[in-house]
Amino acid sequence: MEQPQYLERIGLFIDGANVYAAAKRLGWNFDHRKILEHFASMGRLYNAFYYTAVPTPVDDKQKRFIDALTYMGYTVRTRTLRENTDEHGDTHRRANLDIEIVTDLLTTAGLYDTAVLLTGDGDFERPVEALRLRGKRVVVASIPEMTSYELRNAADEYVDLKDIRASVERPGYRLPSEGGTGNRSEGRFEPRPFYVSSALDSEDDG
């Protein structure tokens, strides 16, 4: 009797602010349903997590966006935006969800074989190394100009989102390209964890 083929268990983890920043850099938008389907095709999807910041109170567009992601099958993690004033006296609204991402990566590691991490943030280098020490395969997906060298080097595989554009683009929802913006420290890109009130909100109608 032929044994059933083992399907690799996939865990998908999406840094929403980082992915939106990549979309702005590229000038075209992502379809989150297509992203889910594309990476789920690698095996058997265990779960898909999406991390995003939210204002207080949550506005209607953001609520619809979160509801749409949940309907697609994502587990959505949120953190409330907080205002910070920089050394120049400028006020920014920020929320950092790194802790939530790392917590889910590590606490659910027994439920997946491969973690697909959509971010380019170098802060995830050590968690990725820890997962590989536990025998997990880690795939990082982003765009090269927004991916730290250390994170890319730590992963088992790197996927350039430009290479899978045909599979993950949302046609008709283009964004103005930013060109080359971002923070750099010691030659490494540091994505800023700003709130996304994005054109991604249009996901709720598809």
Enter the pTM of the model: 0.79
> Would strands 9-15 and 114-118 be described as parallel, antiparallel, or unpaired?
parallel
The model's pLDDT over 13-34, given as tens digits with 9 standing for 90+, comes to 999 999 999 999 999 999 999 9
Query: Tokens at residue 120, please?
Result: 């380019």
The amino acid at 205:
D
pLDDT at 176: 55
Host H or E run for residue 164: none
Distance CA(184)–CA(202), nearest Å, equals: 30
pLDDT tens by residue, the chain, 206 residues = 566 677 899 999 999 999 999 999 999 999 999 999 999 999 999 999 999 988 878 788 889 999 999 999 999 999 887 766 656 656 555 668 999 999 999 999 999 999 999 999 999 999 999 999 999 999 999 999 999 999 999 999 999 999 999 999 988 765 555 444 333 333 333 333 333 333 333 444 44
Of 156, 151, 119, which is closest to residue 139 (Cα–Cα)? Answer: 156
The answer to whether the CB of 94 falls within 8 A of the CB of 84 is yes
Per CATH, the number for 9-205 is: 3.40.50.1010
Residue 125's CB is within 10 A of a number of other CB atoms, namely 18
pLDDT at 84: 64
Domain range list for the chain: 9-205
Angle between helices 98-107 and 125-133 (to 10 degrees): 0
Distance CA(37)–CA(167), nearest Å, equals: 9
Distance CA(88)–CA(80), nearest Å, equals: 24
